[in-house]
Structure 1
Amino acid sequence: MTPTERAHIAMFSIAAHGHVNPSIEVIRELVARGHRVSYAIPASFADKIAATGAEPVVYTSTLPTDDDPDEWGTELIDNIEPFLNDAIQALPQLAAAFEGDEPDLVLHDITSYPAPVLAHRWGVPAVSLWPNLVPWEGYEKEVAEPMFADLKTSERGKAYYARFEAWLAQNGITTHPDRLVARPRRAVVLIPRVLQPNADRVDESVFTFVGACQGDRAEQGQWQRPAGARKVLLVSLGSAFTKQPAFYRACVKAFGDLPGWHMVLQIGAHVDAAELGELPGNVEVHTWVPQLAVLRQADAFITHAGAGGSQEGLATATPMVAVPQAVDQFSNADMLASLGVARHLPMADATADALRAAVLELAGDPEVARRAEEIRRRMASEGGTHRAADLIEAELAAARPAPADA
């Protein structure tokens, strides 16, 4: 296939910023190259998808949303079972939506279980757009098996796996549930290789790292450093695990009225700014900020170390204090610290004194600045959005039969 040949590509994801945002610029680039992209997504993200030029295919989801992260529960089975429940009820919706308009290729986030099922049904290739760290050779024995051992012997866990296997079998798939997403045929990895644990053991014939696919984010708005602010600090715990008023108060205590510093504090939708008390003049508080625009002017970043925030900090060479909240954020925090551009500060230890000391140490260390700039340059060389689109077009070309006179 030549780059000018138009194809129909179907993308599948869930209503979560951490899973939609990494794909946005890739989708925008595919549309710009002339492809028709249908993007299956719940209604709350339809406008965001439409802005890329893709056509939103709206389906109803039963997954908890960023509006109430507590709905995810506290046990491992609570975290994974909703994805199966959602997949089972979403599959008929999605099959009907694409009936008679089947795509040439399926793209999907790692959370979208119906996508590989539909690709199998349609006989088209599936490519995973992977938004975080990937499994390496040996991952199952080193990480997955110990993590899932208790679940697999519990009654609820056995029922989950039996139901998952039965659903896959009904759809003609014999792949074990654990491998359905974790071991795709092909994946474009939307994080820099430098964030990947055991990168030397990753099968790069399957997983190709393309680095940050961020774009200019102009549609998110701009931010301007205030006059007189010699140093700028951004504090953000992302979009999901933001119910942390005590943590935000510690940040205000640590940096409020600190000479020369200006703090931009994003508190999310679950905390009222009034809970933080009286705010000094060098502190601005928002429910949401154009994060990349702030980071391009920031001198330090206190982050939950989600995949998106971590790579935005690296892409802007901003030193980070990582205060992880859940899932892969803990390993991301350790990886950032190992690169010499961040400190991992557990939430329980994130006092005002500890936060201030960590930020000042990082921001004042020229070796940290040197390492951060080196990583920024290395990331830029991975290709980003354009390379991701090239890889997807290569999959399209491989899937299409050669002309008879070739």
Structure 2
Amino acid sequence: MTSRSRTAPAHIAMFSIAAHGHVNPSLEVIRELVARGHRVTYAIPPAFAEKVAETGAEPKLWNSTLPGPDADPSAWGSELLDHVEIFLADAMQALPQLIEAYEGDEADVPDLVLQDITAYPARVLAHRWGVPAISLSPNLVAWEGYQEEVAEPLWAEPRSTGRGKAYYARFQAWLEEYGVDLHPDSFAGRPDRSLVLIPRVLQPNADRVDETVYSFVGACQGDRAAQGDWERPAGAEKVVLVSLGSTFTNQPGFYRECVRAFGDLPGWHLVLQIGQRVDPAALGDVPANVEVRSWVPQFAILKQADLFVTHAGAGGSQEGLATATPMIAVPQAVDQFGNADILQALGVARHVPSADATAETLRSTALALVDDPEVARRLKEIQAEMAKEGGTRRAADLIEAELPVEQG
């Protein structure tokens, strides 16, 4: 007979880094697993311990060497090797901490490991413990042909340098030290099983993604009441939210252009999120119809907004789609450029490069978008498609399906 069925309470361990864009997408999945009776531990640096604890999971704290969640983007370096070296160094110093946390005086080895795509130690630990590992991807995943079309051209020059060769040698030696027989590229980019926490429409070449490995569950939204509410001002005919997320916010010049674009537009109300590093005084005189905040309950506002000016991060892009809000995409870094192009190709957004994001361009683009019935139709169509992907509950179902069944 079996000592527990596949869906009986289990210990599930989640691993991530202290970054909003990597923690936030997983939180509702974790909350759902806890609600189903599972014990969930969540290995995370202290900056996110409180947010994790609110889901009912137990934080397992470790100290990270990565730039903090509010660090200036320049702290991550300017080249590909800068970025990946930081992640590898952090993983190498984190692993002994995590081994102690789970294998110390009171051994606490889980039944299954969940890992954000940046949490390299998690896959090593799953191998060490002989338990299943599932990657939770908050952004695009590799498709058949990705290696030849994207990875090889991207890495051709860095891989040929002494520094690049040293990076790969260091990564390979670390894997071998812990008995992992994989090339670093496969280890970091080719999970055995993955849940993709974005809508399928945001995935490039989705028709070439191996869905025996990758399951698109879409946006895992939940009750955001704890983040606060927002009330649309009386008399506001149109509401526009401007947000560049949590990292790329030090853009006072861009915010001034947004004030110029919407500040004297009759009937419009502008909600401007400027982050922690910009002094509101740097914006100059702000009209009464402009609401300046360091942080906003984004999803609550988008449910009532008529336009979203976004950096096109994965989280913001899918929230715009989930609320059927037309978007102006002004990408700042990494995958945001690709997301902006996809949103434009879907017919729900316009991609405006940062250098072109003048008040005049933002205003003319906004007026064209919000009055276009085809944009509205396409947004409603995508919103309906996303609702069918299953979200949080389907993600939890798929995780439970991977739990090992103990024989007894």
User: TM range, normalised to the smaller chain?
Assistant: over 0.9
TM-score, normalised to structure 1, is 0.98
Q: Quick check: 1:21 aligned with 2:28?
A: no
**For the residues of structure 2 that align with 1:385 and 1:319, how far apart are their CA atoms?**
24
Give secondary structure in 2 for the equivalent of 1:81: helix
Give secondary structure in 1 for the equivalent of 2:74: helix
CA contact (8 A) 2:28 2:220 kept: yes
Q: Report the equivalent of 1:38.
A: 41
Q: CA deviation at 1:280?
A: 0.3
Give secondary structure in 2 for the equivalent of 1:148: helix
Give the partner amino acid of 1:7: A
Q: Report the equivalent of 2:172.
A: 165
Q: Report the equivalent of 2:282.
A: 275
Q: CA deviation at 1:400?
A: 2.0
**For the residues of structure 2 that align with 1:236 and 1:179, how far apart are their CA atoms?**
35
Flag structure 2 segments of 5+ consecutive residues without an equivalent.
Answer: none
Give secondary structure in 2 for the equivalent of 1:227: coil
Give secondary structure in 1 for the equivalent of 2:50: helix
Q: CA deviation at 1:66?
A: 2.9
Q: Report the equivalent of 1:71.
A: 75
Give secondary structure in 2 for the equivalent of 1:115: helix
Q: Report the equivalent of 2:91.
A: 87
Give the partner amino acid of 1:21: N
Give the partner amino acid of 1:389: A
**For the residues of structure 1 that align with 2:65 and 2:95, how far apart are their CA atoms?**
12
Q: Report the equivalent of 1:156.
A: 163
Structure 1 residues 314 and 30, CA, compared in 2 at 3 Å: closer, same or farther? same
Q: Among 340, 359, 363, which residue is 1:333 paired with?
A: 340
Moved more, 41-50 or 73-82: 73-82
CA root-mean-square deviation: 0.9
Give secondary structure in 2 for the equivalent of 1:10: strand
Give secondary structure in 2 for the equivalent of 1:141: helix
Q: Quick check: 1:53 aligned with 2:56?
A: yes
Q: Among 185, 191, 194, which residue is 1:187 paired with?
A: 194
CA contact (8 A) 2:193 2:214 kept: yes
Give the partner amino acid of 2:405: R
Give secondary structure in 1 for the equivalent of 2:66: coil
Q: CA deviation at 1:2?
A: 4.2
Q: Report the equivalent of 1:347.
A: 354
Give the partner amino acid of 2:24: N
Q: CA deviation at 1:187?
A: 0.2
**For the residues of structure 2 that align with 1:154 and 1:240, how far apart are their CA atoms?**
30
Moved more, 70-79 or 41-50: 70-79
What does residue range 378-393 of structure 1 map to in structure 2 within 5 Å? 378-393=385-400
Q: CA deviation at 1:363?
A: 0.5
Q: CA deviation at 1:61?
A: 0.1
Give secondary structure in 2 for the equivalent of 1:38: strand
Structure 1 residues 305 and 181, CA, compared in 2 at 3 Å: closer, same or farther? same
Give the partner amino acid of 2:119: S
Q: In the TM superposition, what whole-angstrom CA distance separates every residue of 1:152-171 from its partner, at most 9, and x where no partner exists? A: 01111111110000000000
Give secondary structure in 1 for the equivalent of 2:181: coil
**For the residues of structure 1 that align with 2:137 and 2:20, how far apart are their CA atoms?**
14
Flag structure 1 segments of 5+ consecutive residues without an equivalent.
Answer: none
Q: Quick check: 1:126 aligned with 2:133?
A: yes
Q: In the TM superposition, what whole-angstrom CA distance separates every residue of 1:160-202 from its partner, at most 9, and x where no partner exists? A: 1100000000000121111112110000100000000100000
**For the residues of structure 2 that align with 1:45 and 1:305, how far apart are their CA atoms?**
23
Q: CA deviation at 1:257?
A: 1.9
CA contact (8 A) 1:4 1:34 kept: no
Give the partner amino acid of 2:87: F
CA contact (8 A) 1:253 1:352 kept: yes
Q: Percent identity?
A: 71
Give the partner amino acid of 1:400: V
**For the residues of structure 2 that align with 1:170 and 1:4, how far apart are their CA atoms?**
34
Q: In the TM superposition, what whole-angstrom CA distance separates every residue of 1:211-239 from its partner, at most 9, and x where no partner exists? A: 10011211100000001101100000000
CA contact (8 A) 2:5 2:405 kept: no
**For the residues of structure 2 that align with 1:147 and 1:270, how far apart are their CA atoms?**
32
CA contact (8 A) 1:223 1:293 kept: yes
**For the residues of structure 2 that align with 1:88 and 1:4, how far apart are their CA atoms?**
34
Q: Report the equivalent of 1:198.
A: 205
**For the residues of structure 2 that align with 1:208 and 1:109, how far apart are their CA atoms?**
15
What does residue range 194-273 of structure 1 map to in structure 2 within 5 Å? 194-273=201-280
Give the partner amino acid of 1:27: I
**For the residues of structure 1 that align with 2:369 and 2:315, how far apart are their CA atoms?**
21
**For the residues of structure 2 that align with 1:341 and 1:275, how far apart are their CA atoms?**
32
Q: CA deviation at 1:353?
A: 0.5
CA contact (8 A) 2:202 2:342 kept: yes
**For the residues of structure 2 that align with 1:360 and 1:400, how far apart are their CA atoms?**
57
**For the residues of structure 1 that align with 2:364 and 2:23, how far apart are their CA atoms?**
35
Structure 1 residues 4 and 134, CA, compared in 2 at 3 Å: closer, same or farther? closer
Give the partner amino acid of 2:111: D
CA contact (8 A) 2:171 2:184 kept: yes
CA contact (8 A) 1:26 1:389 kept: yes
Q: CA deviation at 1:3?
A: 6.5
Number of corresponding residues: 401
Q: In the TM superposition, what whole-angstrom CA distance separates every residue of 1:241-300 from its partner, at most 9, and x where no partner exists? A: 111000000000000021010000000111111000010000000110000000000000
**For the residues of structure 2 that align with 1:179 and 1:344, how far apart are their CA atoms?**
32
TM-score, normalised to structure 2, is 0.97
**For the residues of structure 2 that align with 1:236 and 1:66, how far apart are their CA atoms?**
16
Q: Report the equivalent of 1:177.
A: 184
